[in-house]
Amino acid sequence: MALDTVKNAQENPDALQPYKELGLKEDEYASIKEILGRRPTSSELAMYSVMWSEHCSYKSSKIHLKQFGEKAVKTDALLVGIGENAGVVDVGQGYAVTFKIESHNHPSYIEPYQGAATGVGGIVRDILTMGARPIAVMDPLRFGDPENPDTRRVLPGIVSGIGGYGNCLGLPNIGGEIVFDDTYQGNPLVNALCVGVMKHSDIKLATAHGAGNLVVLFGAKTGGDGIGGVSVLASETFSDSKPTKRPAVQVGDPFAEKVLIECSLEIFAEDLVVGIQDLGGAGLSCATSELASAGSGGMDIRLETVPLRDPSLSPEEILMSESQERMCAIVEPVKLKRFMQICKKWDVTATVIGEVTTGTRLNITFNGELIVDVPPRTVAHDGPVYNRPISVPKYLESLKAVDVPLPSTPEEITAAIVKLMSAPNMADKTWVTNQYDRYVQGNTVLSQPEDSGVIRIDTKTNLGVAISTDANARWSYLNPYEGAKLALLESCRNIATNGAKPLAVTNCLNFGSPEDPEVMWQFSETVRGLADACLELGLPVTGGNVSFYNQTGSVAILPTPVIGVLGVVDDVTKRTPMGIKPNQEIYVVGKVDDNFSGSEWAYIHGKQIGDHSPVADLDMEQRLIKFLLEGQSIFDAAHDVSNGGFAASIAEMVLRTNVGATITLEGNVAAELLAETPGRVVVAIDESNTNAIVALAGKYQIPINHVGATGGNSLTINGGALSIDELRAANTGVLEKLFG
């Protein structure tokens, strides 16, 4: 194919262009022509198509997401906000922490191993790009029916992809979730979170300023993988009739990324870059246009200088390739020599591909011919914005109240616990988590199955951070506004349970097609709920990701806002883990109600959902967080009550340390046991702290209930006894049997 130059575009204005195949709509193509005053060249068309994709441009979500900015609280803790690769927060002692969560759902369904692996790789580069050393990852996952043969294809591949990449990078995997629901059958969710740490002075931004400064591409060579990943894959609904999309999935090389991390950190330490951007979705198109538009605007790129893995790639393909493990830096000419020396030390390929200019346009040439001449902002930021129609879903009119057995006798209680704890959603996840390295870097204080992951960031002062990710998609289905708030609260409660003060929020909003008004309503309600709750809790949203089109045909996934909360632990040696020891008194903190809607107990009885979600009590939850933080000195163990209710929490505590417990529940026993009323925590204390916990509960007006004591070799509830061995037999081996 002949090179389509700017000159050619001017001379042949009516040439037919495959904009539809590249995922652009008629009116979007028209506005590109209007911006340029001519038809785009094929290279320009390639750039606009990937950058204006839903995945990169947030065109359907933008008008909703701006609430995170409008409703944001003013906080000194936020050092870098939304818009950069990842938000940065101050955690004290001169340290800054950056964290973010992203989706890699569509590629992971098509090619589970590589899709999941490159999901980890991408988020890690986002964190690195901010100037931070990545210190941990987490992976919230959602799958279809565990009995479905396709889940057997998808799950083991995704798990080994996450492990294969993350383990090789030397990043401890400290938590996440694994949830099964039929709506994820054709759209599994693979969300990846990474957290990194740096000193305040080391923060880097994605900007290209200073005419004459050089644009340096470093890392892996560019290949033909992942072309159109963001536009063709992530921004469309799957259907059976189309050809396989496997070439649009990137292929990862974790070793290349590990070396790139060490090389970049050494470059940052010597302050050798003006700005830096990683190459992820939309590859060079994204990096060059974003760097240029964040700077003065002018940039010249010589595309033929890009080192290629496959020399037959066309300029359009080079611009769209999503080959992994690449970074783009802006370097002052006087610092280039040292920059190149460090790259050589790590055997990292580095090439000057252009420079920052005094102009305002991004010009890309290929062997001297001008093939791109665009205002970079129009590519990077001025994409289309849609105010998509919304409508309240019809399904909300036909919700049915939950109808579940309510165990009350000792036999019924033990049978219920066995049934609950052997359900795939509640079963022991060791088969998965043991494939992830949780120890590497030597700073992991708590990791799964604890409520949050806790990482030490200073070995002298014991300063640390805690992170949890949570979602309850079934509540979001019933009420997305409350569902989002409840996910945020659960995440906050999880880190507070371990002793961390909530500081900042990230999110990964996984939804069906934005072109469906009912999905769009779920989305808008979710954003509104999350923004409202963050405002009231005083927590900034530091960034996030939207994944639409998680839909097969007309079946959308449950609305799944995964909320990540990061908190500070002033002294990680004081953290409260979930494991109990003998002779401790057990309390349930918080009050239960009898709503089983959206609960796991309901789910395992015919996959019911129910008729109404709980309503988030922000005032009480804030008092609860204070109670938990102040109570750290008297708690010996603590565990949040969520999926599976109190029964699951106490069973998990017993299994964690092989110490039994004897419990007496009063009132509505089935609800006390199995309802998932938010705002509850199980804590274990020494008897000598009885007065202290009562006083603390009084101070924050939090109801507490003494329900029993630890010890022995069984979990006994209201006379129904299960030996620890029986409990373990029910809870373990479930995933091995299904996927091993």
Partner 1 sequence: MRIGVVTFPGSLDDRSALRAIELAGGTPVPLFHGTNDLKEVQAVVLPGGFSYGDYLRCGAISRFSPIMESIILAAEHGFPVLGICNGFQILCESHLLPGALTRNADLHFICADQRVSVENTDTPWTRGYTKGQEIVIPIKNGEGSFQCSDETLQELEDEGRVVLRYVGKNPNGSRNSIAGISNKRGNVVGVMPHPEQAIEHLTGPSEDGLNFFSSILKEMVGR
- Which residues here bind partner 1, judged by CB under 8 A? 160, 163-164, 167-170, 253-256, 258-259, 262, 345-347, 433-445, 456, 459, 572-573, 740
Q: Is the CB of 238 or the CB of 346 nearer to partner 1?
A: 346
Q: Is 55 a catalytic residue?
A: yes
Give the nearer residue to partner 1 in terms of CB position, either 264 or 479: 264
Q: Supply the DSSP symbol for 296.
A: T
CA distance 306 to 354: 10
Other Cβ atoms less than 10 A from the Cβ of 389: the count is 12
Reading the block at residue 406, the tokens are: 């309510």
**64 close to 524: Cβ distance less than 8 angstroms:** yes
CB 640 → partner 1: shortest distance, Å? Answer: 22
| For partner 1, the closer CB: 238 or 739 | 739
- In the complex, least distance from residue 444 CB atom to partner 1, rounded to whole angstroms: 6
Name the catalytic one among 64, 104, 106, 639: 104
Report in angstroms how near the CB of residue 345 gets to partner 1 at its nearest: 7
Cβ distance to partner 1 smaller for residue 168 or 692 = 168
- Helical segments of 557-675, H only: 600-603, 618-631, 645-657, 669-674
Please name the amino acid found at residue 102. E
CA quadruple 416, 421, 424, 425: dihedral sign: positive
Q: How far is the CB of 293 from partner 1 (least distance, A)?
A: 35
Environment class of residue 369 by beta-carbon count within 10 Å: exposed (0-12), middle (13-18) or buried (19+)? Answer: middle
* Rg, Å, the chain Cα set: 26
Reduce the secondary structure of 536-567 to three states and give it as a string. Answer: HHCCCEEEEEEECCCEECCEECCCEEEEEEEE
Which CB, 195 or 256, lies closer to partner 1?
Answer: 256
For β-strands 681-685 and 635-640, DSSP reports them as antiparallel
Active site residue 639: no
CA–CA separation, 63 vs 58, rounded Å? Answer: 9
Least distance in angstroms from the C-beta of 353 to partner 1: 24
Shortest Cβ distance from residue 509 to partner 1 (Å)?
31
Residue 415: Cβ-neighbour burial (10 angstroms; 0-12, 13-18, 19+): middle
Nearer to partner 1 by C-beta: 447 or 608? 447
C-alpha count within 13 angstroms, C-beta hemisphere, residue 562:
28
Q: Of residues 55, 64, 106, 639, which has the active-site annotation?
A: 55
Instruction: Specify which residues 222 forms β-bridges with.
Output: 308
**Which residues does 297 contact at the CB level (< 8 Å), separation at least 6?**
359, 360, 361, 362, 375, 376, 377
Neighbours of 394 (CB within 10 A): 8
Strand, helix or coil at 88? strand
In the complex, least distance from residue 436 CB atom to partner 1, rounded to whole angstroms: 6
State the minimum distance, in angstroms, from the CB of residue 243 to partner 1: 32
Q: Which is nearer to partner 1, 89 or 261 (CB)?
A: 261
Nearest residue (CB) to partner 1, 311 versus 740: 740
Give the Cα separation of 212 and 599 in Å (integer).
60
Query: How far apart, in whole angstroms, are the C-alpha atoms of residue 735 and residue 426?
Result: 10
List, by residue number, the catalytic residues: 55, 104
